[in-house]
Amino acid sequence: MLELKNVNVSVKDGNGDNVDILKDINLTLENNKIYVVTGPNGGGKTSLAKAIIGIYPVTGGSVTLDGEELSDKSITQRAEMGVGYAFQAPTRFKGLKVREFLTIAAGTDDEALLFALLVDVGLCAQDYIDREMNSGFSGGELKRIEIASILARKLKVAVFDEPEAGIDLWSFQKLTETFRRLNETNDTTIVIISHQERILRLADEVIVIAGGTVSEITNPDKILGEIELEDPDCKLCPKCSERSLLSGVNEEYGVRV
Amino acid sequence: MSSLTDIDKRLLKEVADLHEIPQGAYNIRKNGEGLSRKTTDNIDIITKTDKPGIDVIVKAGTKNESVHIPVILSQGMEDLVYNTFEIGEDADVTIVAGCGIHNGTGEKAGHDGVHEFFLRRGSRMKYVEKHYGEGNGKGQRILNPTTIIEVGEDATAEIEMLQMKGVDFAKRDTIVRLHKNARLIVTERLLTYLKQEAVSIITVELLGEGSSAQVISRSVAQNESKQVFHLNMRGHCECKGHIQCDSIIMHNAQVSAIPEISALDEGAELIHEAAIGRIASEQLMKLMSLGLTESQAEETILQGFLK
């Protein structure tokens, strides 16, 4: 169980002044549950993820995993304790192959396992395994490899930051299935930062972050039910009858449906 | 190779990947003198009579053969050698050169090699040159290679130049002239640390219609080391050229990259890119979030970059 109590994070702005980006965050995230974090742009969602992973040190409050304080732990130590983060903007690595990257993540070079990870994110393993993680990849391809690096690890807490960004509609379905399976087969706490309806529908609870604070903890039906759909019978996707990702926006929550 | 000491064997392994007697032709030079040589039906090696060095002659039509010409210095001295390579028409050959220095003395140990290559019509050559230095002596390890390559019509030259630590000062001067439809691929990898200095000057003259060249240089400069790259490409006709120079700078190192392209004909298409920067913090954080320590993450990034 991951607990954040009165967590504050501040960073320096361009003038060297401290700016509070997270204020009095209180969250209890239980094992084997999916939490979707949503809210308007700039509200503090990614900052929350970075505070959990250790990229942003907390300036007040505490972050504990199964009762053990994380605040004084490095990124590496938190990773060893079972905290993982799929970055919003995946990094390119010159000279590093997908095989090497996933081997680091999985802690093994077992080819069958590495292949399975790529298949899980909708990539042809044979085509991708020995490609370099450089400019040859599209953003969507890189995003899927980033997600695979998290699936590779046995985690207590897995944080995915806008996993749908750059992913095509058809692979998106695969992605949601992967999250469901991860939830069903592991005891992992899954945290997904997202604005998308189909991701929200995966949630046990939806956490709305706005202005650097938790403004609401609710369920997906409540948020989605409050949104008046502009075009519920959208025809944009030829392969499924699911609504378009772009057909409506809930201004309050910044949720797209 | 039984007359080689353990140090010699280690140097040969580093500069030429030689664990045993190489397949094909070879010429091993140790401390300024020829140590061992083998020729084949298609590749002849002749000692020059007017100056130190050898002529390597690859017969026309030779396919999939290799020549190893490593130089090892295991004592403080300055060695100068002139080697000439004649690659016959339609030949396809790999040449592995390189210099390994073990300097356990207080004296300077240096090797200046002047290599000239003539690639005849339709030939292909892969040339690998590695620099390696070791030893606890206070004497400097110095390498100053000059490489001049004439790439004939429809010929292809692929050059790999590697230097990883170990050498206190290196000035590498490479001049390549490309004729009609000739092709050049240069890959340079360099890692300096402590107070080492390295200068690499690569000049490419695209002289013939349809010629093309790609020069990719990647380097890492650590500690107080200094690096200078001057990559100069000149298009004299309808041709294509691309220079890319990427460096990672660490600690108190200094790197200067001077890419220069000159189009002397409206058909010349030349591109240069140069970037110098520290290791991206996003890369470090990503690898650390997968469980690597900061130093392991750094090492992984550098190894990939210099691959």
B289·A84 Cβ contact <8 A: yes
Question: Does residue A248 register a pLDDT over 50?
Answer: no
Give the start-end residues of each E strand in A81-176.
83-86, 157-161
Answer yes or no: is the ipTM higher than 0.90: no
Which has the closest alpha carbon to A70: A22, A17, A7, A118? A7
pLDDT at A33: 96
* Least confident interval from A56-65, B97-106, B273-282: B97-106
The band of A240, judged by pLDDT with boundaries at 50, 70 and 90, is very low
Domain extent listing, chain B: 1-134, 145-281
Phi and psi at A248, nearest 5°, equal: -165, 160
Q: Are residues B161 and B215 in contact, defined by beta-carbon separation less than 8 angstroms? A: no
Report the alpha-carbon angle B91-B97-B101, nearest 5: 175
Which residues sit opposite B213 in a β-bridge? B184, B241
CA distance A203 to chain B (A): 24
Q: Which residue has the higher pLDDT, B292 or A198?
A: B292
Question: Does residue B112 register a pLDDT over 80?
Answer: yes
Average pLDDT for residues B235-241, to the nearest whole number? 98
Q: Are residues B82 and B110 in contact, defined by beta-carbon separation less than 8 angstroms? A: no
pLDDT at B23: 80
pLDDT tens digits along A38-49: 999 999 999 999
CA distance A77 to chain B (A): 7
Q: Which residue has the higher pLDDT, B300 or A134?
A: B300
Could you give the CA distance from residue B172 to residue B143 in angstroms, rounded to a whole number? 8
Q: Which of A78, A91, A107 shows the shortest C-beta gap to B282?
A: A91
pLDDT at A253: 55
Chain A residues within an 8 Å CB radius of B280: 91
Mutate to test the interface with B, among A11, A55, A93 (most CBs of B within 10 A): A93
For chain B, give the mean pLDDT.
93
Strands B43-47 and B65-68: unpaired
pLDDT tens digits along A114-128: 999 999 998 999 999
Question: Does residue B75 register a pLDDT over 80?
Answer: no
**Residue B80 in contact with partner chain A when CB distance is under 8 A:** no
Which two structure tokens, joined as six digits, stand for B137? 């002596």
The band of A227, judged by pLDDT with boundaries at 50, 70 and 90, is low
CB-facing half-sphere around the CA of A130: CA atoms within 13 A: 2
Which two structure tokens, joined as six digits, stand for B200? 């690499």
Chain B residues within an 8 Å CB radius of A95: 303-307
Could you give the CA distance from residue B226 to residue B224 in angstroms, rounded to a whole number? 7
Name residues whose C-beta falls within 8 Å of residue B199's C-beta, 6 or more positions apart in sequence. Answer: B170, B171, B172, B227, B228, B229, B230
The band of A91, judged by pLDDT with boundaries at 50, 70 and 90, is very high
pLDDT at A155: 95
pLDDT tens digits along B184-219: 999 999 999 999 999 999 999 999 999 999 999 999
pLDDT tens digits along B252-262: 999 999 999 99
Which has the closest alpha carbon to B18: B8, B3, B31? B8
B300·A107 Cβ contact <8 A: no
Domain extent listing, chain A: 2-230
Could you give the CA distance from residue A81 to residue B289 in angstroms, rounded to a whole number? 11
Could you give the CA distance from residue B114 to residue B147 in angstroms, rounded to a whole number? 6
B282·A74 Cβ contact <8 A: no
pLDDT at A233: 47
Which has the closest alpha carbon to A176: A156, A157, A155, A190? A190
In the CATH hierarchy, which fold is given to the domain comprising A2-230? Rossmann fold (3.40.50)
Could you give the CA distance from residue A12 to residue A95 in angstroms, rounded to a whole number? 34
pLDDT at B99: 86
DSSP A51: H
Q: Which residue has the higher pLDDT, A8 or B107?
A: A8
In order of A141, A214, B153, the CA distances from A111 in angstroms are 20, 42, 45
Average pLDDT for residues B19-48, to the nearest whole number? 90
Could you give the CA distance from residue A208 to residue A13 in angstroms, rounded to a whole number? 25
Rg of chain A, C-alpha, whole Å: 18
Which has the closest alpha carbon to B83: B19, B34, B124, B13? B34
Could you give the CA distance from residue A216 to residue B86 in angstroms, rounded to a whole number? 77
pLDDT at A252: 53
CA distance A32 to chain B (A): 21
Could you give the CA distance from residue A168 to residue A193 in angstroms, rounded to a whole number? 18
pLDDT at A218: 94
pLDDT at A241: 45
pLDDT at B302: 96
Average pLDDT for residues B116-130, to the nearest whole number? 97
Which two structure tokens, joined as six digits, stand for A185? 């087969």
pLDDT at A185: 85
Coil, helix or strand for B11? helix
pLDDT at A173: 86
Q: Are residues A251 and A202 in contact, defined by beta-carbon separation less than 8 angstroms? A: no
The band of A184, judged by pLDDT with boundaries at 50, 70 and 90, is confident
Q: Are residues A238 and A21 in contact, defined by beta-carbon separation less than 8 angstroms? A: no
Q: Are residues A84 and A112 in contact, defined by beta-carbon separation less than 8 angstroms? A: no
Question: Does residue B21 register a pLDDT over 70?
Answer: no
pLDDT at B32: 87
Chain center to CA of A195: 11
Q: How far apart are the first and last CA of chain B?
A: 30
Which two structure tokens, joined as six digits, stand for B92? 């396809």
The band of B12, judged by pLDDT with boundaries at 50, 70 and 90, is confident
pLDDT at A106: 97
Q: At what angle do helices A111-120 and A139-151 cross, to 10 degrees?
A: 120
